Structure 1
Amino acid sequence: MTKNQLSLSVLTILFAGVCSVDAANKEWKMNIPDPPIASIRKDRFPSPEERLKVYMSNWYVPPCADSPEGHVHYEYYNDDESEWPRLRVQSTDRNRTILDLSSLITPDTTFFLDTGTVFDCLLPEPESKYKHRVEFRKNMNMYCVDAATSVLTTTQHVNTERNSTIPTIVQFGDLKHSHIFGNVTIPHLKKFRSASQSAESLRQVVEAQCYGDDRPVLETIHQLDYMQPIVWKLASRRHFGNLEKVHREDTAWEHKKDMAIWRGQLTGSRDGGFDKDLPAETNCMRLKRCRLVYKHSKSHLIHARLTSTRKRLPDVLNGVPLLAPATTIRRLLEYKGIIMLEGNDVASGLKWALLSQSVVLMPPPKHTSWAMEELLEPWIHYVPLNEDATDVEEKMQWVVDNDDMARRIAERGSLWMEDLVFHPDAAEEDRWIQEEIIRRYRKHFVQGIELTSAVE
């Protein structure tokens, strides 16, 4: 078996069961695996090369050198209305669409990084020159920190050509597509992408030596028919910032309450079908997070409350309190079960919840980020819920009835995060992966627009 075949075999094992949870199966309790916990990291966690394939997916394989259609063409031009240059980028889709990008830092749209703007974004008070170049400065700050400390520094380190002009294209925020450009079919960095359907779907886009104009589209759980972005560790303060708290404040499994807890805002309404013209109860039943709270208000196993309704629903619905103040991680860690539900994209609290000694209950993830959520295995790293999370009480009862197995699932989830963040090799592996992402990203770009197309 070649090294490449071995790598793909490990990915297949990691993907096993991700999409196979059948909540309607009456015999699910008979089919729960309980393998021994691997003592060696390489037996329980993907290698750097395997991780690189997950993060880059569609853009892992470089374009063929003799295929101009396989490359992304770009050129800078001066904007008559601004001192800042703009960028034309020719996409790799069949229409060879030309995107007109700016370097304004704007959430939920695609732009290219300008060093001065990124570093000004780190300041609470902008310099006059950059005053209008960062939208939603407070929210964008955490993205800019990562852009400055990892994206720009990695790009500069990898860049062997002092005057290289290859742009670094990114998108900040939670939106799957770009507000301005829609579905973007050029390589760009983002904090998440839609999860792959299976190991086979990922294999199909990372096996080739090179691609011309026939680059296949990654098959995703969302069945999106466009190429996915490259995953980078962005918004890390929000997604990874609470890990140290877990080490300080967690409670031993045997001291935790035999209940599951959930807290969160009413995010996810964009995909959930919220309609302001419908009655509040109808909207609540449409939204997974609200339905969880409403249906389990009297449960002895589930303690769920919204911390904000985003002014879309009342605080009390038909006598059922939906709202409660936000609580501390210390209190959440008092429970054996922590429920995680995706909102606009990945569940931001999933990283600390996995790291904890509590067990995570969640539907199989539909998005993947730097934590590689799509590789988490049900009944191995977390207790799976059905897509609508309507079986959460039944699954938490299983946790109570199967204390030792549930504790081992929690331990495997914790090891996943320990291996990702705190293992002695983790920092060096992250450095290599990020450098290799930039090296492969840069191979896709060629300076100069060659084909004619209408500018969007």
Structure 2
Amino acid sequence: MKVFYYLKHIGLALLPHSWFTRRQRKLEQKFADQQDYIQRRVDYYLKTAQPFTLAPEETTAIADYTRRGFTSYFYDLKEYLHYFPKQCRFAYYFGDETHIEPRHTLFKARPIAGDNERSVIFKLDKRRHFRFVEDTLSFAEKKPMAVFRGAVTQPHRIRFMETLFGHPLVDAGQSNPSETHPEWQQPFMSVEDQLQYKFLFALEGNDVASNLKWAMSSNSLVFTPKMVFETWFMEGTLQAGVHYVEVKDDFSDVEEKINYYLAHPEKAQQIIDNAHAYLAPYQNPDLEDLVCIKVLERYFSLSGQLEK
């Protein structure tokens, strides 16, 4: 898969600018009846409505944009920079960072709360975060338990393991070694194996939970504490009890919530159906391409580098 990923980007670099202009026009025609939806997403990612300035010494021109680590981030942004003049400048920050820069900067993630409008969300590291599954098991066919696998280094994940490791309704295990709690490290569990469970924990790490998207595309019910960060998936618009089940930060109500949805599978199924409906647009590659283009178009326009 990586070979095809790199070949795709090599091919894009060889195409003339006119090809990207034509493709954007075709995408705009294809989704002409979804302009309001596209605009709502663009407004969400780039919240600023007023023009802003970008200092040349604090930004990078498209012509000078080169890879310095973070390969997937680099190519995920480069793919859409092809649509714009090479003199356009932008600020970007790669990695699991969620701080707020003093200038309008492209980020993968940002805090949901607070003054976050200078963090412009873009679809970065998408091969890791935007994975979906074809779940062949119905909710009724799955094991009546919850499951979690992942690295445990942050305080909230440590608190999760302290509370739920060994619980009869939760198969909890960490993927990294632990000197303090070696028993927490459990064997690797594939996505396919995790799909055997009715309930999937999506716990934020340094920013968002990387398994949230594929978990919501499954026929299992997603459990998570209140989310703090958001990405291209617009986690800040997800509703507890509608798209996922929210549990307390101390995880004290997990057993109660599991038992409730075991006793009310029809309510679990409604949340699962809502989750599928929410993520459906993200599974349309052409629509996703157009939204990415429109975010950058707005960014370059508001910074005075493109005519509207």
How would you bin the TM-score normalised by the shorter chain?
Answer: 0.7 to 0.9
Take 1:371 and 1:417, find their aligned partners in 2: how far apart are those partners? 8
The yes-or-no answer on 1:402 pairing with 2:264 is: yes
**1:294-324: per-residue Cα shift (whole Å, max 9, x none)?**
3223322111111115x6x5343xxxx2111
Deviation at 1:226, TM superposition (A): 6.0
CA root-mean-square deviation:
2.3
Deviation at 1:407, TM superposition (A): 1.6
Q: 2:292 aligns with which of 422, 426, 434?
A: 434
Unmatched segments (≥5 aa) in structure 2: 1-35
Provide the residue aligned with 1:145 in structure 2. 75
Q: 2:94 aligns with which of 172, 197, 204?
A: 172
Deviation at 1:430, TM superposition (A): 2.4
Is this contact kept in 2: 1:74–1:445, CA < 8 A? no
Take 1:264 and 1:147, find their aligned partners in 2: how far apart are those partners? 27
Could you say what secondary structure the match of 2:144 adopts? strand
Is this contact kept in 2: 1:146–1:234, CA < 8 A? yes
Take 1:115 and 1:400, find their aligned partners in 2: how far apart are those partners? 56
Take 1:185 and 1:227, find their aligned partners in 2: how far apart are those partners? 10
Provide the residue aligned with 2:37 in structure 1. 47
Take 1:314 and 1:187, find their aligned partners in 2: how far apart are those partners? 42
Structure 2 residue identity aligned to 1:153: H
Q: 1:325 aligns with which of 171, 174, 187?
A: 187
Is this contact kept in 2: 1:381–1:409, CA < 8 A? yes
Take 2:82 and 2:169, find their aligned partners in 1: how far apart are those partners? 48
Deviation at 1:113, TM superposition (A): 5.9
Q: 1:346 aligns with which of 208, 220, 225?
A: 208
The yes-or-no answer on 1:304 pairing with 2:158 is: no
Structure 2 residue identity aligned to 1:169: A
Provide the residue aligned with 2:108 in structure 1. 191
Take 1:296 and 1:52, find their aligned partners in 2: how far apart are those partners? 39
Deviation at 1:289, TM superposition (A): 1.3
Is this contact kept in 1: 2:54–2:103, CA < 8 A? no
Take 1:226 and 1:332, find their aligned partners in 2: how far apart are those partners? 34
The yes-or-no answer on 1:362 pairing with 2:279 is: no
Take 1:379 and 1:354, find their aligned partners in 2: how far apart are those partners? 13
Q: In structure 2, do the counterparts of structure 1 residues 113 and 146 end up closer, same or farther at CA, with 3 Å as the change threshold?
A: farther
Is this contact kept in 1: 2:46–2:117, CA < 8 A? no
TM-score, normalising length from structure 2? 0.80
Structure 2 residue identity aligned to 1:50: R
Provide the residue aligned with 1:62 in structure 2. 50
Deviation at 1:117, TM superposition (A): 5.7
**1:359-384: per-residue Cα shift (whole Å, max 9, x none)?**
10112221111111111111111111
The yes-or-no answer on 1:234 pairing with 2:215 is: no
Is this contact kept in 2: 1:171–1:189, CA < 8 A? yes
Could you say what secondary structure the match of 1:443 adopts? helix
Is this contact kept in 1: 2:199–2:222, CA < 8 A? yes
Is this contact kept in 2: 1:260–1:303, CA < 8 A? yes
Q: Counterparts of 1:20-31 in structure 2 under 5 Å?
A: none
Is this contact kept in 1: 2:73–2:125, CA < 8 A? yes
Provide the residue aligned with 2:160 in structure 1. 292
In our comparison, the structure showing a higher alpha carbon Rg is 1
Q: In structure 2, do the counterparts of structure 1 residues 142 and 366 end up closer, same or farther at CA, with 3 Å as the change threshold?
A: same
Could you say what secondary structure the match of 1:348 adopts? coil
Could you say what secondary structure the match of 2:175 adopts? strand
Kindly, what percent of the aligned residue pairs are identical? 26
Take 1:144 and 1:326, find their aligned partners in 2: how far apart are those partners? 29
Could you say what secondary structure the match of 2:55 adopts? strand
Q: In structure 2, do the counterparts of structure 1 residues 73 and 357 end up closer, same or farther at CA, with 3 Å as the change threshold?
A: closer
Aligned residues: 270
User: Which structure is higher in helix share?
Assistant: 2
Take 1:420 and 1:446, find their aligned partners in 2: how far apart are those partners? 30
Is this contact kept in 2: 1:301–1:397, CA < 8 A? no
**1:116-167: per-residue Cα shift (whole Å, max 9, x none)?**
663xx4xxxxxxxxxxxx2xx3xx11112212223x223x2xx4xxxx6331
Provide the residue aligned with 2:139 in structure 1. 253
Provide the residue aligned with 1:335 in structure 2. 197
Deviation at 1:326, TM superposition (A): 2.4
Structure 2 residue identity aligned to 1:360: V
Deviation at 1:445, TM superposition (A): 3.0
Is this contact kept in 2: 1:232–1:369, CA < 8 A? yes
